[in-house]
Structure 1
């Protein structure tokens, strides 16, 4: 029996794609406009020719193959509590309607959308209602859930995201349910090796504006810390705070730990591990800033894999 097929929009480095592949789906076509993200995608999916590097608004929907499932982690900046929350007034928010146009053309059986937790609350719920009603007008029945990496993916990161699952068939909708919570058995100490010396560039040194404060506020080799707009946060996290795309723009936004050699930022590979990516996933041929951005922009793979496992059951 052939595998159910997936078309992926706003693919990034392929976090959603990987979750679906691990659950038994075949990704036949993907799209991402960020050049560095496409490099990472190709490096990790066998030089994949399936990833089309282009702005989605420039692609004719008729050129996209028909599929069983359409997935999209569409841009979240205009819905995030961190931004101005302009929603559909922001061109990035309007990209949802690009998805709707493609759905209307290729008519997948199932749609899975991922966005920030705040999506369902934005503009007093009006943004979410617009998305819900648009999908309904296209003939889809909708379920949604907020899933957290720590409670639904067994990954020690505080990362809540809204997932919207839409089905063209009512029986499929009834047969599907979002995964429930599971125990968190993995700690940050299972992921971070404090005995390993990393490149000097990761370590804070005398002369850095945060060096003295970090040494005062991080007294031992436990927990994880972060720097925010007000400076070094007082709180010691027992799991990773949410990894954000601005790690690639503001390097001090990368979470911080003390190891056997000093105080340092997490490496991009540690950030990948805190998103549940496998150890053989690589960064190659891109700037480190792009790698950090990609880590913050992607999804928690085990969360998506569990959702995809429930979706494949209804086929």
Structure 2
């Protein structure tokens, strides 16, 4: 079984995708305590190291066939400040290089926002590409929307990078092809079920009233963005974000009982997490929304991981 070392593991979305593709996660690292609680609650992993990667001696990290990293995206995102490598979070990419240089994995798998390609007129991506090439890796990359590659109706667009030091792997590897979108938004929602009151906007506030008066149709899913609400007429869920706990940035639906935000279970479905994945009671609802918004689409990761597995075989 091929082994994986996972950096910036979050709640384990990338790791679950690789596990489902037949890999063994032998070491993982995540700094955020709440994310670590969720990870351990679901993966029961004694290999997860809860520390800042900058404080970890790379020589203490075990060798693995694959190094994965969903390194922080806020520095390159249109929704963020786009400070790139001027932001300490953006500089965390170089921790991936530091670890890769030490453990020398056969394959490196990276995930980030699509805007990484265009950020700073392409210079940020060029830095990443050259950094990998200098270590002897041949780089493959592709932007892959969730609704085109995972049969999940979420318009989440991300760049995936697969780099290998092996020429035969690089010649054989290819990203998976698009697949038909047969799953509908309605298939992932529980409109007929009364949800806990915390999900509904029933307060006597002006914004709650705005939501109730705007989110009126069961035919659409709605997106609030900086306080403005629009119906998604493309029949897809907008990108789940780390800020969607806020009513001003929430994803909204009308069910048989009123206007509400997506439930956490529905969010997990739109990311393709297993049915038995749960958030522990020890974390806040705001943390849970942030975690799922910061995570990945698991079935898409699994498809890429299967292609990596085939290339290593």
Please tell me the TM-score bracket, short chain as reference. Answer: over 0.9
CA deviation digits over 1:138-177, x for unaligned, max 9? 0100000001110011111000000111001011011100
* Cross-structure match for 1:294: 291
Does 2:274 correspond to 1:278? yes
> For residues 42 and 98 of structure 1, what CA distance do their matches in structure 2 show?
23
* Cross-structure match for 1:309: 306
> For residues 48 and 86 of structure 1, what CA distance do their matches in structure 2 show?
34
C-alpha change, 1:235 and 1:189, in structure 2 (3 Å) is closer
- TM-score (norm: length of structure 2): 0.97
Where do 1:1-315 residues align within 5 Å?
3-45=1-43, 47-233=44-230, 235-236=232-233, 238-248=235-245, 250-284=246-280, 285-315=282-312
What stretches of structure 1 of length at least 5 have no aligned partner?
none
SS of structure 2 residue aligned to 1:67:
coil
Q: Is the Cα contact below 8 Å between 2:11 and 2:35 reproduced in 1?
A: yes
Q: Is the Cα contact below 8 Å between 1:224 and 1:237 reproduced in 2?
A: no
SS of structure 1 residue aligned to 2:26:
strand
> For residues 231 and 79 of structure 2, what CA distance do their matches in structure 1 show?
20
Q: Is the Cα contact below 8 Å between 1:210 and 1:232 reproduced in 2?
A: no
> For residues 231 and 215 of structure 2, what CA distance do their matches in structure 1 show?
9
C-alpha change, 1:197 and 1:252, in structure 2 (3 Å) is farther
What stretches of structure 2 of length at least 5 have no aligned partner?
none
- Aligned-pair distance for 1:221? 1.3
- Aligned-pair distance for 1:234? 5.1
> For residues 261 and 296 of structure 1, what CA distance do their matches in structure 2 show?
25
CA RMSD of aligned residues (A): 1.2
Instruction: Count matched residues.
Output: 311
> For residues 206 and 308 of structure 1, what CA distance do their matches in structure 2 show?
45
- Aligned-pair distance for 1:80? 0.4
> For residues 165 and 91 of structure 1, what CA distance do their matches in structure 2 show?
24
> For residues 57 and 145 of structure 1, what CA distance do their matches in structure 2 show?
28
